[in-house]
């Protein structure tokens, strides 16, 4: 898969506890997160997931380096999933750590948003 940097809308955001790098691979927006997702870092995540103005947006979130997520993150992912679905697109979560996957499973997010074991698998149709 050819990896390309986004030029017009490339975004890199960072707070004290969360950084989000946005790139594109084969037309799929890839959001790579590092750090903690909580009430204080939610705007960074929300901004990184925003694909408004894109037809059929496809977004994969690489969660390998997410160390913590509370209900704020869950709510943001659910809202993004709905927005992307309404735009005839999709959201996938890639490589969540065991702790993060447990949180996603307990609240049932994994039944709503597709979670894949690796970024490579998430980028495949």
Give which of 74, 66, 69 is closest to 31, Cα–Cα.
66
Element (H, E) at 114: strand 114-116
Residue 8 above 50 pLDDT?
A: no
How many Å apart are CA 60 and CA 23, to the nearest integer?
10
* Higher-confidence position of 73 and 14: 73
Task: Report yes or no: 80 and 49 within 8 Å, Cβ to Cβ.
Answer: yes
**Mean of the per-residue pLDDT values of the chain:** 90
DSSP state of 39: T
Residue 36, strand partner residues: 68
**Above 50 in pLDDT, residue 3?**
no
Report the C-alpha gap between 65 and 33 in whole angstroms. Answer: 6
For the residues 55-59, what does the mean pLDDT come to?
Answer: 95
pLDDT at 125: 75
Mean pLDDT of 87-111: 97
Contact 112, 93 (CB under 8 A): no
User: In the chain, pLDDT over 90 holds for what percent of residues?
Assistant: 82
pLDDT interval class at 16 (50, 70, 90): low
CB 28, CB 2: distance < 8 Å = no
Q: In the predicted model, what is the mean pLDDT of residues 11-18?
A: 60
Instruction: Return d(Cα 8, Cα 122) in angstroms, integer.
Output: 24
- What pLDDT is recorded for position 116? 97
pTM of the predicted structure, to 2 decimals: 0.86
16 near 25, Cβ under 8 Å?
no
């Amino acid at each position: 898969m050819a990896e390309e940097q986004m030029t017009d809308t490339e975004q890199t955001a960072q707070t004290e506890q969360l950084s989000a790098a946005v790139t594109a691979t084969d037309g799929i927006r890839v959001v790579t997160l590092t750090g903690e997702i909580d009430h204080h870092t939610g705007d960074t995540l929300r901004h990184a997931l925003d694909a408004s103005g894109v037809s059929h947006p496809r977004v994969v979130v690489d969660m390998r380096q997410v160390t913590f997520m509370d209900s704020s993150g869950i709510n943001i992912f659910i809202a993004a999933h709905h927005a992307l679905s309404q735009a005839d697109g999709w959201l996938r979560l890639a490589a969540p750590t065991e702790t993060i996957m447990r949180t996603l499973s307990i609240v049932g997010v994994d039944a709503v948003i597709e979670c894949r074991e690796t970024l490579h698998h998430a980028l495949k149709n």
